[in-house]
Amino acid sequence: MKHLKIILFVAATLMFILFLHLNSQKKTEILSRDVYRLKQSAIENFKENSVVFHPEDFHNCTDTEHKNIVERIKNQTQLVLYLSKKQCVNCGIFEYNLLQKKMPQAKNIIILTNFKKEKDAHLWLEQNKVNYPVYNCKKTISHQMIEQYKPFFWIMDTTFVMQHTFQPIVDFPDLTNEYFSYIQEFL
């Protein structure tokens, strides 16, 4: 009788462990599927977009190496981090810090702000210590990512066309790191 209780207890414990294992495996599969969907969405955002800028749209705020955006881009394609005063401040700081960690000394990165008045751009710069060259674009930019008021990245070359755009998801910094790896071939 005593052995029967022990055997039943061990069997119940093993069944409970098996149940926990199978349940966690199912949760992992669901999470993997959701992460895959997010990655596919991010890859779609890598594709070229149709926003075209003009060199005169850019005002040099802090670039001491080049007098204007044309000089900077003719030397090397640039990774642009778009930050706006309308965006989530913490999101912008998070992405900027991630960029700093991944590419701290890169010479082909610029920050683009979108202030209507140059004075506001300079005030923003005083409040936020930025180690990359900053340009301000007064032009109203019509793009679905800009209208979401979140920071995002793109590649810009001498065509001044927004290419390989990516809007980070703060909860998934690994996607941003994948984007940084992906764009290396274009920089």
pLDDT at residue 53 tops 90: no
- Confidence (pLDDT) at 152: 85
- Confidence (pLDDT) at 48: 43
**Segments making up each domain of the chain, as ranges:** 1-46, 48-186
pTM over 0.75: no
pLDDT at residue 65 tops 70: yes
Q: 55 Cβ partners below 8 Å, 6+ apart? A: 68, 69, 70, 160
Dist. CA 129–CA 124, nearest whole Å: 9
1.10.3720.10, 2.60.40.290, 3.40.30.10, 3.10.20.600: CATH of 48-186: 3.40.30.10
pLDDT, tens digit, 9 for 90 and up, residues 104-156: 777 889 988 888 777 877 787 788 778 889 998 877 666 555 556 678 898 99
